[in-house]
Amino acid sequence: MASVSIDSIHKNYGATSVLRGVSLSIADGEFLTLLGPSGCGKSTLLRILAGLEMQDAGSLSIGERAVDNLRPKCRDVAMVFQSYALYPHMTVASNMGLPLRMRRLSTFQRLPLLGRLLPGTARIAAEIDAEVTRTAKSLGIGHLLARKPGQLSGGQRQRVAVGRAMVRHPAVFLMDEPLSNLDAKLRVQMRAEIKELHQRLGVTFVYVTHDQAEAMTLSDRVAVMLDGELLQVAPPQEIYADPDDRRVAEFIGSPKINMLDGVVRERGLIDVAGSTLAIGADALAGAHLTLGIRPEAFHLAERGGQGVLTGSVRMIEHMGSDLFVHFDLAGGDHPLIARLLAERAPDIAPGQTLHVGVRPDRVLLFDRNGRRLRQEVESGRASVTPIREVAR
Amino acid sequence: MSEPLALTGAPNEPSATGSVRTLPPSLAAAPARRRAFTEALAAWALAGPAVFFLLALFFLPVIGVFVIAITDWQFGGLTLSFVGLANFREIFADDGFRASLVNTIVYVLIVVPGTLVFGLLIALLIESGKSCRSFYRAIHFLPFMATLTAMAVAWEALLHPTIGLVNQTLAAMGLPTANWLRDENTALPVLAVIGIWQNLGYAMVLFLAGLKSIPQDLYDAADTDGADLWLDRLRTVTLPLLGPVSMFVVIVVALRAFESFDTVKVLTQGGPGHASEMLLYTLYRESFEYLRSGYGAAVAVVFLAIVVTLTLAQVRLMDRRVHYQ
């Protein structure tokens, strides 16, 4: 068990800067997910943490111990790879036992035939076998120990890879997109198993993924990375509801958040797409802002007016309890998506005019650089109530 | 001759299928049979040329050799009579043939492991270095590309007892020298060394390709699992994953070693005595110098039997252990 601290890590490949001063501290026993699109540097950060690559600058410590100059095997971390990286010529038992054999047996004891004759080898080998069997049983792969990886299904290989990491009780688990090679159904199942594993073992997990569903469901905290920088590190709910950066807001959430350009008319009022919303922004009159509105922050309104956006319906996606309504604002350059309750909006048809109200407290404001502008909570709240009355 | 058949067969097909549609199911069987026949005809027409040449150029000569092996035919002779297995009895009673057989086996047993080990070693060295990779690759591959007969002249000069570079170097270092190609203790080993030198580049290129196809993830896994020393990585990842390539190298190099002829012919002519005589050279001399075609054909049959057995055994044995499915 150990905490992890990452201090201003830099990494370049030639002229390309992959990590630009990433700092992060991970608490003992925490499940932290590095989330970002491919090429954002999340895997590189994980590999640096594992010791498979060296950082160009910055320092790392695991459990109060600086590990910058330690080889991977000395860092007390175990890694699960996207490809599982199982040794194809070894049985499941040998695959899982390898980390223990490498640690507990000497070079001579590991020799193919001679090693068995040396004193102690048989006893240690029996201990290793027992531990491997116990771990395999706890993962439900006890019956597969004699098979080779080529004879296993994707989910079984995944479990073997996890077992190989578990068997030596590492202080930190590193997982590099471990579920991305599985089909959708299995992915959901293995996601639950990984969550359960974390709760059972109670050790620190660092998990890399580009899948926001995995990040949101598994993590204690999510670290969103983009272009080699950490944009925000926060619990999943906070990442979703209270993003610090426009790019975080756009990366998280499906369907994607709607982005609208607006201009501050006066304190507490913003002009947007031919309508006016009562939102308290910490900005001067005339300032250009971007409004981020999650699809579920819209609700159906009967007529246009203040706090209501009007557009024409382009397309409707039925999702059972919800409708995803794609609509074009007059003069808007890209369609917006509203997530409406199906029972409240039974007869919307493409081509029809749509009025949607916006909850001002759910609107996220960003300045022109993409930084979040917090709403002035008191004045914002004060103006919320009448608008909502109008909308209903 | 078969092509016009294929051409007439093809236009028939649409009309046959057309009639099927109008006929009741019970009568549809006849056109279906006809269509199957047309298809078979087309298949034979397409495969025909290849089958013909395969028969004419591979199977017939082999059958011819088997037939000649049980006769007393002399090359150019007008008469022959069947002698049964007399030729085989003769070759196995012949000291020269037995020496040739043993020499060939010894030669293969030196060349195959030698090529495997040194080819792998050079491939690992080239792969671990960063500079001049293509230069090293090219220079090690050169002997395989070059005509061995021409290269043999260079070897002859190197190994010359008095003016050769090898002996002069040894003498300068105060080490004993030898008449490498004329000494019955050294002639065969020297030929084997030349054989290794020649096949090395081929094995190296195959190993380099094999090394490239090993996923980096496996080395990373080995590092985190604690197998991070050179020897441990080699034993845990590199060697097992080179299994399929190694099998291929062993088979190909073994076959090439069994067939080695040019170095023997150019450098030693099988001598001194029978010390460096090998199967293919014996076969050549008996058949084309002494014109004893029956005897030569019997040697060819033995040679063929060894090569085929070896290939089948290697494929059967190693396939099972090397492909991890």
Assess if residue A225 is contained within a domain: yes
Task: Report residue B29's pLDDT band, with 50, 70 and 90 as the boundaries.
Answer: low
Chain B interface includes A253 (CB < 8 A): no
At B40-56, the pLDDT tens digits run 999 999 999 999 999 99
Alpha-carbon gap, residue A203 to A27, rounded angstroms:
10
Across the interface, do B223 and A73 touch by the CB < 8 Å criterion? yes
pLDDT reported for residue A46: 94
User: Most confidently modeled of A111-115, A193-197, A270-274, A342-346?
Assistant: A193-197
User: In chain B, whose CA is at the least distance from the CA of A152?
Assistant: B325
Instruction: Considering only the beta carbons, identify the residue of A78, A107, A149 that sits closest to B224.
Output: A78
In the predicted structure, residue B8 carries a pLDDT above the cut 70: no
Alpha-carbon gap, residue A47 to A44, rounded angstroms:
5
Same domain, A338 and A261: yes
pLDDT reported for residue A381: 40
Assess if residue A310 is contained within a domain: yes
Alpha-carbon gap, residue A249 to A212, rounded angstroms:
12
Assess if residue A251 is contained within a domain: no
- CATH no. for residue A283? 2.40.50.100
Task: Report residue A107's pLDDT band, with 50, 70 and 90 as the boundaries.
Answer: confident
At B255-275, the pLDDT tens digits run 889 888 888 888 888 778 788
3-state secondary structure A122-165: HHHHHHHHHHHHHHHHHCCCHHHCCCCHHHCCHHHHHHHHHHHH
Alpha-carbon gap, residue B294 to B305, rounded angstroms:
17
Any idea which of A99-103, B134-138, B300-304 has the lowest mean pLDDT? Answer: B134-138
Assess if residue A372 is contained within a domain: yes
pLDDT reported for residue B322: 61
At B48-93, the pLDDT tens digits run 999 999 999 999 999 988 888 888 887 777 777 788 788 888 888 8
pLDDT reported for residue B42: 93
Any idea which of A16-25, A205-214, A356-365, B305-314 has the lowest mean pLDDT? Answer: B305-314
**Of A246, A264, A283, which one is at a domain's C-terminal end?**
A246
pLDDT reported for residue B25: 54
Across the interface, do A87 and B215 touch by the CB < 8 Å criterion? no
Determine which of B225, B230, B246, B323 to mutate to test the interface with A (most A C-beta atoms within 10 Å). B225
Residue predicted with more confidence, A49 or B163: A49
| Contacts B226 to A, Cβ<8 Å | 73, 98-99, 102-103
Same domain, A25 and A134: yes
Instruction: Give the domain ranges of chain B.
Output: 3-69, 86-322
At A46-69, the pLDDT tens digits run 999 999 999 999 999 998 889 988
Same domain, A45 and A141: yes
| Contacts B217 to A, Cβ<8 Å | 81-83, 85
In the predicted structure, residue B117 carries a pLDDT above the cut 70: yes
In the predicted structure, residue A30 carries a pLDDT above the cut 50: yes
Q: Are B80 and B265 in contact (CB under 8 A)?
A: no
pLDDT reported for residue A221: 94
Assess if residue A296 is contained within a domain: yes
Chain B interface includes A47 (CB < 8 A): yes
The mean pLDDT value of chain B amounts to 82
What percent of chain A has pLDDT above 70? 94
The mean pLDDT of B95-115, rounded to a whole number, is 91
Alpha-carbon gap, residue A345 to B225, rounded angstroms:
57
Chain A interface includes B318 (CB < 8 A): no
| Contacts B221 to A, Cβ<8 Å | 79, 81, 85-87, 164
Same domain, A309 and A236: no
Instruction: Considering only the beta carbons, identify the residue of B218, B220, B226 that sits closest to A87.
Output: B218
Task: Report residue A376's pLDDT band, with 50, 70 and 90 as the boundaries.
Answer: low
What percent of chain B has pLDDT above 70? 89
Give the DSSP H or E segment for A225: strand A221-226
pLDDT reported for residue A387: 35
Task: Report residue B12's pLDDT band, with 50, 70 and 90 as the boundaries.
Answer: very low
Instruction: Considering only the beta carbons, identify the residue of A82, A87, A102 that sits closest to B226.
Output: A102
pLDDT reported for residue A98: 92
Q: How many of the other CB atoms lie within 10 Å of CB of A152?
A: 18
Q: Mark which residues 72-101 of B lie under 8 Å from A by CB.
A: none
Checking DSSP bridges between strand A172-176 and strand A204-209, what pairing results, if any?
A: parallel
| Contacts B213 to A, Cβ<8 Å | none
At B289-303, the pLDDT tens digits run 888 888 888 889 999
Same domain, A208 and A356: no
pLDDT reported for residue A379: 43
Task: Report residue B9's pLDDT band, with 50, 70 and 90 as the boundaries.
Answer: very low
In the predicted structure, residue A3 carries a pLDDT above the cut 80: yes
Residue predicted with more confidence, B123 or A284: B123
| Contacts B232 to A, Cβ<8 Å | 102
Distance from CA of A84 to the nearest CA of B (A): 8
Same domain, A27 and A109: yes
Chain B interface includes A268 (CB < 8 A): no
The mean pLDDT of A159-182, rounded to a whole number, is 91
Checking DSSP bridges between strand A308-318 and strand A298-300, what pairing results, if any?
A: unpaired
Alpha-carbon gap, residue B112 to B102, rounded angstroms:
16
In the predicted structure, residue A390 carries a pLDDT above the cut 80: no
- As beta bridge partners, residue A32 has A206, A221
Q: Which of B191, B164, B199 is nearest to B178 (CA)?
A: B164
Across the interface, do A87 and B227 touch by the CB < 8 Å criterion? no
| Contacts B218 to A, Cβ<8 Å | 85, 87
Domains identified in chain A, total number: 2
Across the interface, do A52 and B223 touch by the CB < 8 Å criterion? yes
Task: Report residue B26's pLDDT band, with 50, 70 and 90 as the boundaries.
Answer: low
User: How many residue pairs from chains A and B have C-beta atoms closer than 8 A?
Assistant: 70
What is the ipTM for the molecules in this complex?
Answer: 0.80
The mean pLDDT of A280-296, rounded to a whole number, is 85
**Of A195, A219, A246, which one is at a domain's C-terminal end?**
A246
Same domain, A27 and A82: yes
The mean pLDDT of A26-42, rounded to a whole number, is 92
Instruction: Considering only the beta carbons, identify the residue of B220, B223, B240 that sits closest to A87.
Output: B240
pLDDT reported for residue B44: 92
In the predicted structure, residue A319 carries a pLDDT above the cut 60: yes
**Of A198, A217, A246, which one is at a domain's C-terminal end?**
A246
Assess if residue A155 is contained within a domain: yes
Task: Report residue B10's pLDDT band, with 50, 70 and 90 as the boundaries.
Answer: very low
Same domain, A222 and A291: no
Distance from CA of A217 to the nearest CA of B (A): 27
Same domain, A217 and A263: no
The mean pLDDT of A209-229, rounded to a whole number, is 92
Across the interface, do A88 and B241 touch by the CB < 8 Å criterion? yes
User: In chain B, whose CA is at the least distance from the CA of A50?
Assistant: B224
Across the interface, do B240 and A89 touch by the CB < 8 Å criterion? yes
The mean pLDDT of A339-346, rounded to a whole number, is 80
Same domain, A346 and A368: yes
In the predicted structure, residue B226 carries a pLDDT above the cut 50: yes
Q: Mark which residues 225-264 of B lie under 8 Å from A by CB.
A: 225-228, 231-232, 236-237, 240-241, 243
At A65-82, the pLDDT tens digits run 899 889 988 888 999 999
Q: Mark which residues 162-181 of A lie under 8 Å from B by CB.
A: 164
Q: With the C-alpha atoms ordered A68, A73, A74, A80, is the resulting torsion angle positive or negative?
A: positive
- CATH no. for residue A13? 3.40.50.300
At A224-256, the pLDDT tens digits run 999 999 999 999 999 999 999 999 999 998 889
Instruction: Considering only the beta carbons, identify the residue of A73, A79, A88 that sits closest to B228.
Output: A73
Assess if residue A312 is contained within a domain: yes
Same domain, A292 and A200: no
What percent of chain A has pLDDT above 90? 46
Distance from CA of B117 to the nearest CA of A (A): 19
According to the CATH classification, is domain B86-322 in 1.10.3720.10? yes
| Contacts A164 to B, Cβ<8 Å | 221, 225
In the predicted structure, residue A385 carries a pLDDT above the cut 60: no
Across the interface, do B224 and A102 touch by the CB < 8 Å criterion? no
The mean pLDDT of A293-322, rounded to a whole number, is 87
Q: What's the domain range around A131? A: 4-246
The mean pLDDT value of chain A amounts to 86
Assess if residue A236 is contained within a domain: yes
Using alpha carbons only, give the angle A337, A340, A342 rounded to the nearest 5 degrees: 130
The pTM for the full model equals 0.76
Distance from CA of A368 to the nearest CA of B (A): 42
Same domain, A331 and A386: yes
Across the interface, do B240 and A151 touch by the CB < 8 Å criterion? no
Chain B interface includes A81 (CB < 8 A): yes
Q: Are A191 and A179 in contact (CB under 8 A)?
A: yes
Residue predicted with more confidence, A342 or A345: A342
